[in-house]
């Protein structure tokens, strides 16, 4: 009775893997029973294998767990995956082939036509793409992905506006935290007192994923949204939290108060069906002139809300604003967890 669902974490020792462990410690539905990482960690107990970087302690139940090899043998049927993209491309299909539900953070399969790329507040219906996956037909396994950490904040801010006014053009400039690069990430001598105006493949991901997320599922395929989008991505010396300066042109004209109201009143499926990790308010609008700021606002909604501020007219497009979201919570582990909760609610985790 009330038995929790056993889950495993692939890439459990990394930045996102640690966030999974932290967020799952008191989860009402899921329980961590299996951890895997590279052969550097395999066979060690978790507390020795992981360089724990979070401010809470390693949960007792996990600290003494042995790190398993990253193969499906002996793994549970639900896998949260936090692997580098090249490794994910190699390993995730094998787990899906072996009948596992793979809830992935990696970019490896995000843009594959039959793989859902999902933010539960934005495009929950896209999970139905699972039904056409070859893995699903063969073994019951499948892969579901969440977007890149800067796409999530951007799309949470854009979705309510796209729904009501339609987007014509989007320009986004990101200021991305160092934790977004994994551990050890960017060398301190490169980032301290510095801004690095290049993150490999990030601009392409932000543009393509935003269009897929705001696209429409029709006849078993996602038709991407057609607005123009240009992204510029920077790494900055912030620990957690990606901030983005965004300018937009809308199809229908909108007043500032109508835009703010769209954000403030935005509620979607995860809120309606009370998924445990869903924030009460997915988008928080802050009227202060100098917010959002990562240090002050990154943990709003337990790290699951995007904070928007500084809405004002744009001299080139229609409107401009700033948006902030937590890259390892809303942008990674929390995003996957919310996807898994939606999958369970919709009967995909049997």
Ligand X SMILES: NC(=O)c1ccc[n+]([C@@H]2O[C@H](COP(=O)([O-])OP(=O)(O)OC[C@H]3O[C@@H](n4cnc5c(N)ncnc54)[C@H](OP(=O)(O)O)[C@@H]3O)[C@@H](O)[C@H]2O)c1
User: Interface residues with ligand X (CB under 6 A)?
Assistant: 11-17, 37-38, 40-41, 70, 82-85, 87-88, 105-106, 149, 179-180, 182-183, 327-328, 331-332
User: Of how many residues is the chain composed?
Assistant: 350
Q: Which is nearer to ligand X, 47 or 84 (CB)?
A: 84
Residue-by-residue DSSP string for 37-68: --TTTTTSBHHHH----SSSPPPHHHHTPBEE
Catalytic residue among 100, 149, 162, 326: 149
State the nearest-atom distance from the C-beta of 62 to ligand X, in Å: 13
Q: For residues 120-134, b (16+ Cβ closer than 10 Å) or e, as one string? A: bbbbbebbebbeebe
The DSSP code for 123 is -
The shares of helix, strand and coil residues in the chain, as percent rounded to the nearest 5, are 35, 25, 40
Catalytic residue among 126, 162, 242, 326: 242
Q: Which is nearer to ligand X, 153 or 161 (CB)?
A: 153
Please count the other Cβ atoms lying within 10 Å of the Cβ belonging to residue 3. 6
State the nearest-atom distance from the C-beta of 234 to ligand X, in Å: 15
State the nearest-atom distance from the C-beta of 103 to ligand X, in Å: 12
Q: Establish whether 345 is a catalytic residue.
A: no
Residue number, nearest CB to ligand X: 14
Contacts of 183 (CB under 8 A, 6+ apart): 14, 15, 51, 53
State the nearest-atom distance from the C-beta of 139 to ligand X, in Å: 21
Q: Which of 147, 327, 150 is nearest to 239 (CA)?
A: 327
State the nearest-atom distance from the C-beta of 8 to ligand X, in Å: 12
Q: Which is nearer to ligand X, 65 or 332 (CB)?
A: 332
Q: Which is nearer to ligand X, 56 or 265 (CB)?
A: 56
State the nearest-atom distance from the C-beta of 188 to ligand X, in Å: 16
Q: Are 97 and 138 in contact (CB under 8 A)?
A: yes
- Distance (Å, whole) CA 338 – CA 304: 10
Q: Are 101 and 322 in contact (CB under 8 A)?
A: no
Contacts of 126 (CB under 8 A, 6+ apart): 116, 117, 118, 217, 222
Q: Which is nearer to ligand X, 104 or 262 (CB)?
A: 104
Q: Which is nearer to ligand X, 87 or 260 (CB)?
A: 87
Q: Establish whether 149 is a catalytic residue.
A: yes
ω before 292 within 30° of 0 (cis)?
yes
Most distant CA pair in the chain, distance: 60
Please count the other Cβ atoms lying within 10 Å of the Cβ belonging to residue 246. 24
Q: Give the residue numbers annotated as catalytic, written as ranges.
A: 149, 242
């Amino acid at each position: 009775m009330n038995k929790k669902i056993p889950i495993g974490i692939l890439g459990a020792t990394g930045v996102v893997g640690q966030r999974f462990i932290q967020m799952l410690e008191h989860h009402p539905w899921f329980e961590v029973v299996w951890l895997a990482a590279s052969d550097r960690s395999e066979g060690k107990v978790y507390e020795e294998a992981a360089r724990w970087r979070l401010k809470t302690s390693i949960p007792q139940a996990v600290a003494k767990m042995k790190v398993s090899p990253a193969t499906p043998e002996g793994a549970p049927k639900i896998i949260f995956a936090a692997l580098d993209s090249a490794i994910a491309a190699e390993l995730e299909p094998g787990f899906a082939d072996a009948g596992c539900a793979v809830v992935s953070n990696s970019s490896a399969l995000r843009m594959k036509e039959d793989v859902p790329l999902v933010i539960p507040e934005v495009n929950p219906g896209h999970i139905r793409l699972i039904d056409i996956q070859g893995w699903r037909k063969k073994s019951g396994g499948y892969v579901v992905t969440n977007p890149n950490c800067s796409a999530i904040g951007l799309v949470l801010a854009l979705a309510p506006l796209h729904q009501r006014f339609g987007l014509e053009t989007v320009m986004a400039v990101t200021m991305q935290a160092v934790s977004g690069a994994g551990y050890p990430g960017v060398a301190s001598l490169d980032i301290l007192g510095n801004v690095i105006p290049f993150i490999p493949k990030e601009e392409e991901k932000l543009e393509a994923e935003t269009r897929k997320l705001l696209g429409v599922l029709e006849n078993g395929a996602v038709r991407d949204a057609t607005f123009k989008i240009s992204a510029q991505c920077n790494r900055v010396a912030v620990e957690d939290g990606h901030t983005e300066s965004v300018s937009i042109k809308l199809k229908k004209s909108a007043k500032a108060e109508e835009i703010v109201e769209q954000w403030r009143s935005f509620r979607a499926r995860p809120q309606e069906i009370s998924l445990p990790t869903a924030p009460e308010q997915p988008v928080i609008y802050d009227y202060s002139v100098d917010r959002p700021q990562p240090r002050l606002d990154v943990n709003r909604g337990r790290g699951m809300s995007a904070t928007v501020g500084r809405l004002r007219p744009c001299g080139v497009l229609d409107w401009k604003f700033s948006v902030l979201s937590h890259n390892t919570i809303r942008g990674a582990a929390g995003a996957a967890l919310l996807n898994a909760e939606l999958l369970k609610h919709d009967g995909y985790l049997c």
